[in-house]
Amino acid sequence: MNSSDSRAPLAGLKVVEFAALGPAPFCTMLLADFGADVIRIDKPGADVYSPANVVFRGRPSVELDLKTPEGIEAALRIVDKADILIEGFRPGVMERLGLGPEVVQVRNPRIVYGRMTGWGQTGPRAREPGHDINYIGLVGALHSIGTEASPVIPTNLVGDFGGGALYLAFGILAAVLDAQQTGRGHVIDCAMVDGVASLMTMVYGWLSTGYWLDSRCSNSVDGGSHFYNVYECACGKWLAVGAVEPKFYAELLRGMDLDPAQFPQRERSRWPELRAEFARVFKRRTRQEWLEIFAGKEACVTPVHSMREAMEDPHVRSRGIFGTRQGVPQPMPAPRLSGYTVAEPAGVSMAGEGGAAALARWGLDPDSIIHA
């Protein structure tokens, strides 16, 4: 990662990533974005990489055949030098390879061993296959997202990346801080079902009090209310309305030219009726006309941009939220640290690319590793 500052926040941390798909590489990307020194271990001839596969940005690759004793021993020599190991296989895979925590932590007691799965290392489903949709379905998140008629799939952001990668990154950094004090690493059992349930902490709290109803489109922020919803305009484009607080709701009604007495905010029984009326009103004008009406007003009204529209939005452009590398537009690292500014996104290394230099930087003989 190219930075305009001399030292990145995670500079000096050495990470070994056993290449996988989904949330594990996204977690590794986050660490690499902030300066961690990552070596990705790929199987020989891996062909999943391209400049557009940006979650693999910022780390060189070493190809190792983990089906051979020589490949396993070479991997262990790299792991011996690492502070962090990240793997995203089903439970038992690393153990069968001879790379499980019981082997690795004997050789390197301070290593933080990060394990990313959907179901977790234990439990009756632990060895079952699954994907984001299955994990968020099991813990109630998918049930709460959608219309009255059916759940709606929120892409794979909630399980893979929200409940998975971000929680693994948090767990890794917490464990690293502890290892620096104690000299002892941790094994992190990061399960997407755990993380997604944690993301829903506030909602489950509300459920216990009766404030949250256990049915879709019945609550203030799940599409049930008229003041927190999306509305189609005359042009076929959409607006996002989030006027939760009374003062913002009052400003919203003024912009829509509606009588507050006819549109009570908190009468839940009337929400379906008021949603329908809001939909009729918003359909009378184009999105641009509504944006001009609400410009400078504190009504919490914004466009629902397509992804391509989002990259051209003035606010997005002013903050430099997107950059380009290898011809591929992509989000810049987040969050922002006052003492660390990333000048541009890092590139994606192909399998085997840059590995020799990385091994030498770690004090290892590249020839003895790469030709194992």
Q: Tell whether 180 is covered by a domain.
A: yes
Q: Tell whether 352 is covered by a domain.
A: yes
pLDDT at 343: 80
The answer to whether residue 14 scores a pLDDT higher than 70 is yes
Query: Is 131 a residue of the active site?
Result: yes
- Inter-CA distances, 227 with 223, 240, 292, Å: 9, 10, 19
Q: What is the DSSP letter of 224?
A: -
The single residue of 160, 189, 194, 222 carrying the catalytic annotation is 160
From 60-74, 278-292, 338-352, the region with the lowest mean pLDDT: 338-352
Q: Average of pLDDT values for 356-360? A: 97
Q: Tell whether 295 is covered by a domain.
A: yes
pLDDT at 190: 98
Are both 243 and 350 inside the same structural domain? no
State how many domains the chain has: 2
Q: Are 58 and 33 in contact (CB under 8 A)?
A: yes
Are both 188 and 260 inside the same structural domain? no
Q: Average of pLDDT values for 91-116? A: 98
Are both 94 and 195 inside the same structural domain? yes
The single residue of 5, 131, 214, 367 carrying the catalytic annotation is 131
Q: Average of pLDDT values for 233-241? A: 98
Other Cβ atoms within 10 Å of 357 Cβ, number: 11
Cα(128)–Cα(109) distance, integer angstroms:
30
Are both 55 and 132 inside the same structural domain? yes
Are both 183 and 240 inside the same structural domain? no
Domain harbouring 154, CATH code: 3.40.50.10540
Give pLDDT tens digits for 313-340: 999 999 999 999 999 999 999 999 998 8
Cα(107)–Cα(132) distance, integer angstroms:
34
Residue spans of alpha helices (H) in the chain: 23-33, 69-80, 93-97, 101-107, 132-138, 166-182, 192-199, 201-209, 246-256, 271-282, 287-294, 307-312, 314-319, 355-361, 366-370
Q: Tell whether 209 is covered by a domain.
A: no
Cα(63)–Cα(353) distance, integer angstroms:
9
Look up tokens 């950094």; give the residue: 173
- Nearest CA among 155, 140, 151, 143 for reference residue 197: 140
Angle of the 192-199 helix axis to the 201-209 helix axis, nearest 10: 60
- Mean pLDDT score of the chain: 96
Q: Tell whether 146 is covered by a domain.
A: yes
Give pLDDT tens digits for 145-160: 999 999 999 999 999 9
Q: 106 is written with which tokens?
A: 């004997």
Are both 172 and 59 inside the same structural domain? yes
Q: Phi and psi (nearest 5°) for 209?
A: -95, -10
Are both 19 and 62 inside the same structural domain? yes
Side chain identity at 95, as an amino acid letter?
Answer: E
Side chain identity at 258, as an amino acid letter?
Answer: L
Are both 246 and 184 inside the same structural domain? no
pLDDT category of residue 112 using cuts at 50, 70 and 90: very high
Give pLDDT tens digits for 180-225: 999 999 999 999 999 999 999 999 999 999 999 999 999 999 999 9
Domain holding 295, by residue range, is 228-314
pLDDT at 7: 82
The answer to whether residue 4 scores a pLDDT higher than 50 is no
pLDDT category of residue 6 using cuts at 50, 70 and 90: low
Are both 111 and 167 inside the same structural domain? yes
User: Per-residue b/e over 235-247, b at no fewer than 16 CB within 10 Å?
Assistant: eebbbebbbeeee
Are both 241 and 306 inside the same structural domain? yes
Q: For the chain, what percent of residues have pLDDT higher than 90?
A: 94
DSSP string, 150-166: SB---TTIIIIIIIIIH
Domain harbouring 239, CATH code: 3.30.1540.10
Are both 237 and 297 inside the same structural domain? yes
pLDDT at 342: 84
Q: For the chain, what percent of residues have pLDDT higher than 70?
A: 98
Q: Tell whether 8 is covered by a domain.
A: no
Query: Is 33 a residue of the active site?
Result: no
Are both 59 and 168 inside the same structural domain? yes
Q: Average of pLDDT values for 84-98? A: 97
Q: Tell whether 54 is covered by a domain.
A: yes
